[in-house]
Amino acid sequence: MAAKKSSTAKTSPKRSSSSKKTVSRKTSKTTAAKASGATNPHPAPVLPAWHVAPDSTKAWKRLEKLAKKGASMDLRQSFAKDRARGRKFAFEALGMHLDYSKNLIDGEILDALFALASECGVAKHAKAMFAGNHINVTEDRAVLHVALRAPKGATIKVDGHNVVPDVHEVLERMERFATSVRSGSWRGHTGKRIRTVVNIGIGGSDLGPVMAYEALKDFTERGIECRYISNIDGEDFYEKTRDLNPEETLFVVSSKTFTTIETMTNAQSARAWALAKLKDPAAVAKHFVAVSTNAAEVSKFGIDTANMFGFWDWVGGRYSMDSAIGLSTMVAIGPENFRELLAGFHDMDEHFRTAPPKKNLPYLLALIGIWNRDFLGCETVAVLPYCQYLHRLSAYFQQLEMESNGKRVQLDGTPCRWQTSPVIWGEPGTNGQHAFYQMIHQGTSPVPCDLIAFAKPLHEIGGGDAKSPSHHDILLANIFAQGEALAFGKTPAEVRAEGTPEWLVPHRTFPGNRPTNTLLCEKLSPRMLGRIIALYEHKVFVQGSIWRVNSFDQWGVELGKVLAKRIIPELVGAAPKPSHDGSTQGLIARYRAWRAR
Ligand code: F6P
C-alpha cells in the first residue's frame, strides 16, 4: 500500500539477498517505507525489453484498422452467416462456460487481440509474477496473491525465501481460531459464546470479506452472524453495533497497514464500546483480534500479537480476501469450505498459468475488454450477476479493476496514449432490469455487460413439473433474454409489423449490437467463487500488462487522505486562518457555523 509503513509481522518471510527481479536496479536494499515516501525512493526501474507500449505493436495498428469493422458489425448478420458462431466463440473450463460470441468481434479481430497479448509480453509478465519477481515496480514488491492458495508442498520464492510454508502456518492458526469460535470453545471475557463477529476494515480489508460472506451465506454457520464496519461515518458503527451485546461480540480489526484512519478510528470506538460494558481492559484479548502486516501497530493498539494473523507486503489489499483478511469468512463458512475457496482460486491460477491464451478464460475476458475499451470506445462495463448471493460482486470488482488499472501513466512514468480501466458498476439481475437496463438497451453510450449466472440454484423454489417454471428457471430465462435483446435488438420493421404508429417506432426500436459476455457456471460453491474471483484477478492482470500500467499500486488515493488530515483540526479547533481555496474555505466555514448552532 502506498505511503503506508510495512513492518515485518511474526509470520513475515525474511528477505534474502538473492533477490530475483523483473527489473534491474542499482540497489535492492529499499524499504517499503522509503518506497512510499517522498524522499529517497528506490531507483527508477529498468523495464525488460518485452514490456512494450501497446500502441507500438503491429497488432495495435491492425486493431485500429479493424475498429471500423467492429463498430459497424451487425450481430444478426454475423450469426446468420456463421451458424457455428455461438459455439466458436465460447469456451468452457472448470465448470464455467464463457460465451463471448455476442461481442463485436470476428476471427480476424480475435487473432489481432491474441497477437497484441503476445507482443506485449503478457505471458512473460505472468511468469515473472508467479516467480515472485518485483513486478510492483513503484513499491519494489513482489505480487504473489497466487501464493496464498498454493498447495502445501509448493515452492514459491520471494527474494529467495519459500513463502508457501508461511502461508500454511497462518492458515492453520486461522483454522484453530475459527474452529474455536464456531465450536464455542472461544469464550468472551464473561464466559459467553461469541454470537457476532464484526470485521472492521475498509477497501480490500472489507469488500472481499463482505462479498464472500454474502456470496456464501448458504454455507455459513447461521448461529454466528458476521457484520462489517467500514465507513468512518459513525452511522455505520452505530447501526452495526446498536443491538449487539459486547459480551458476545468479537471484533476482527483488519488492516494491512494498521494505520488507515477509518479502520483505526472505528477500532478505537469499538474498544471504547466494548469496555463501557466489560469494564476490564483485559477483556480486549477475548474480544479483539487483528489481521495485519504491521505487528508493531497492532500491539500499540493493545491487541496481543498472539491474537494477530499476519500476511505480507506482497499481497495487495484488493487481492487479499484469501489471506488472513478472510478470517471472518473462515469463521462464517468454516475451515473446510475456506480451503475449498482457496482450491478454487488455485484451479484458476493453474488454468491461467498453463492454458494457451486462446483457451484461457482470463485472457479471453481481458482481450475482449481491451477491444471494447480501446477500439470501440466503451467507457463503462456493467457486471450483472443473476444471483442474489452475489449482490456485492460488482462493488468488489470495482476496487479490483479500478484501483488496479485506473492509471494514466505507464510503468516508466510516461503518459498512456490509450484508455485504461473502464468504470465498473452493476447490480444483480433481475433487479437491474427494472432500474437501469433502459439505458443499456437504448442509451447513447454502449455498455458492455458481463452477465453471470449459475445453472443450478442452491434453493429450488417453485416449479416442480415441466409446465411450471421455478424461480430459477425464470431468472435464467431473463439472463438469456437480456443477452439476446442486447445483441439483436428489434428493428423498426419489426416494430412496425406489430402495428406501432410511425411516430412511436423510433421509441420502440432496439438498436442491438450491444456487447455481452455470458459466464454460466455450474453451481455456486466456495470453490466456484474462488474460481470466479481469480478469473477476474487474472483478467485485470492481463489488461494491466497490455496497458503497461502498474496494476498493484494505488498512489491516486493518497492526496485526498493527506488533505483530509489537514482539514480535520480545522473543523474542530479554533477557527483557522484561511489557507484553502475560496470554495473549500467556504464549505469549512459553513460546516463550522451549522455545527456551532
Ligand atoms: O486507500 C486505499 C487502500 O490503501 C486500499 O488499497 C486498501 O485496500 C485500503 O486502503 C485499506 O487499507 P488497509 O488494509 O491498509 O487498512
Determine the pLDDT at residue 4.
38
pLDDT surpasses 80 at 41: no
Contact by Cβ (8 Å): 164, 217: no
CA atoms of 340 and 522, how far apart (whole Å)? 16
Cβ partners under 8 Å of residue 260, min gap 6 = 4, 202, 203, 205
pLDDT surpasses 50 at 186: yes
CA atoms of 398 and 539, how far apart (whole Å)? 13
Residue 30 confidence class, pLDDT cut points 50, 70, 90: very low
All cell numbers assigned to 458: 442452491
**Mean pLDDT for the stretch of residues 95-119:** 98
Residue 573 confidence class, pLDDT cut points 50, 70, 90: confident
Share of the chain above pLDDT 90, in %: 89
255 lines ligand 1 (CB under 6 A): yes
pLDDT surpasses 80 at 548: yes
317 lines ligand 1 (CB under 6 A): yes
257 lines ligand 1 (CB under 6 A): yes
CA atoms of 424 and 314, how far apart (whole Å)? 25
Contact by Cβ (8 Å): 12, 166: yes
Number of Cβ within 10 Å of residue 566's Cβ equals: 11
Mutate to test the pocket of ligand 1, among 205, 403, 405 (most ligand atoms within 8 A of CB): 205
Mutate to test the pocket of ligand 1, among 260, 320, 328 (most ligand atoms within 8 A of CB): 260
209 lines ligand 1 (CB under 6 A): no
pLDDT surpasses 90 at 7: no
Residues in a beta bridge with 252? 199, 289
CA atoms of 274 and 514, how far apart (whole Å)? 53
Residues in a beta bridge with 416? none
13 lines ligand 1 (CB under 6 A): no
Determine the pLDDT at residue 108.
98
Mean pLDDT of the chain: 93
Nearest residue by C-alpha to atom 2 in ligand 1: 557
Nearest residue by C-alpha to atom 10 in ligand 1: 203
Q: How far out from the chain centre does Cα 342 lie?
A: 16
Active site residues: 403, 434, 561
Determine the pLDDT at residue 38.
52
The atom number, within ligand 1, closest to the CA of 1 reads 4
Q: Name the more confident of 579 and 249.
A: 249
Residue 467 confidence class, pLDDT cut points 50, 70, 90: confident
139 lines ligand 1 (CB under 6 A): no
CA of 524 to the centre of ligand 1 (A): 28
Nearest residue by C-alpha to atom 6 in ligand 1: 317
pLDDT surpasses 60 at 405: yes
pLDDT surpasses 60 at 204: yes
Compute the chain's Rg from CA coordinates. Answer: 25
**Distance separating the N- and C-terminal Cα atoms of the chain:** 40
Contact by Cβ (8 Å): 199, 207: no
Determine the pLDDT at residue 35.
41
pLDDT tens-digit series, residues 356-403 = 999 999 999 999 999 999 999 999 999 999 999 999 999 999 999 999
The atom number, within ligand 1, closest to the CA of 263 reads 16
Q: Name the more confident of 80 and 44.
A: 80
pLDDT surpasses 80 at 9: no
All cell numbers assigned to 400: 479490483
pLDDT surpasses 70 at 34: no
In this prediction the pTM is 0.93
Determine the pLDDT at residue 39.
52
**Mean pLDDT for the stretch of residues 515-541:** 98
Q: Name the more confident of 38 and 376.
A: 376
The atom number, within ligand 1, closest to the CA of 260 reads 16
Residue 577 confidence class, pLDDT cut points 50, 70, 90: confident
CA of 551 to the centre of ligand 1 (A): 14
CA of 436 to the centre of ligand 1 (A): 30
Residue 570 confidence class, pLDDT cut points 50, 70, 90: very high
The atom number, within ligand 1, closest to the CA of 2 reads 4
**Mean pLDDT for the stretch of residues 89-98:** 98
pLDDT tens-digit series, residues 55-75 = 999 999 999 999 999 999 999
Determine the pLDDT at residue 40.
56
Burial class (CB in 10 A: 0-12, 13-18, 19+), 247: buried
pLDDT tens-digit series, residues 442-456 = 999 999 999 999 999
CA of 573 to the centre of ligand 1 (A): 28
pLDDT surpasses 60 at 33: no
